[in-house]
Amino acid sequence: MYAIVEIGGKQFKVQKDQKLYVPRLDANVGDTVTVDRVLLVAGDGGVKVGAPTVDGASASLKVLGHVKADKIIVFKKKRRKGYRVKNGHRQPYTQVAIADLSAGGAKRSRKKEAEEAA
């Protein structure tokens, strides 16, 4: 079984017990984070495609640690003007493990949808 989930504005294809790096999450190491933005679920029962999300589907992520990517050098120069600027950047990431995928089946109530929209 696999799913396509949206975490931090990016889409990832995930399976159970998979480890991956996602944009920095506001969670402590060891915490469990639940992601409700599941766009597609595929498994033995077929494929469920959301419009835009699959109702009742979720993914549980276990936070393993916070890391930074390799340094990227940003160098700007304008010729004959004496303008040179050198900066570095390291993108922060969170390493997570997919603890559980739930295809769901329970429909969300209209009352809960109205509360989230407000």
Domain extents for the chain? 2-64+93-106
Confidence of residue 113 (pLDDT cuts 50, 70, 90): low
What mean pLDDT comes out for the span 3-16?
95
Residue 108 in this model has a pLDDT that exceeds 60: no
Give the integer Cα–Cα distance in Å for 5 and 35: 8
Confidence of residue 44 (pLDDT cuts 50, 70, 90): confident
Residue 118 in this model has a pLDDT that exceeds 90: no
pTM: 0.77
Residue 66 in this model has a pLDDT that exceeds 60: yes
Tell me how far CA of residue 60 lies from CA of 34, 36, 44, 90, in angstroms: 5, 9, 20, 27
Q: Of 53, 91, 94, whose CA–CA distance to 74 is shortest?
A: 91
Percent of the chain with pLDDT over 90: 80
What mean pLDDT comes out for the span 70-97?
98
Residue 106 in this model has a pLDDT that exceeds 80: no
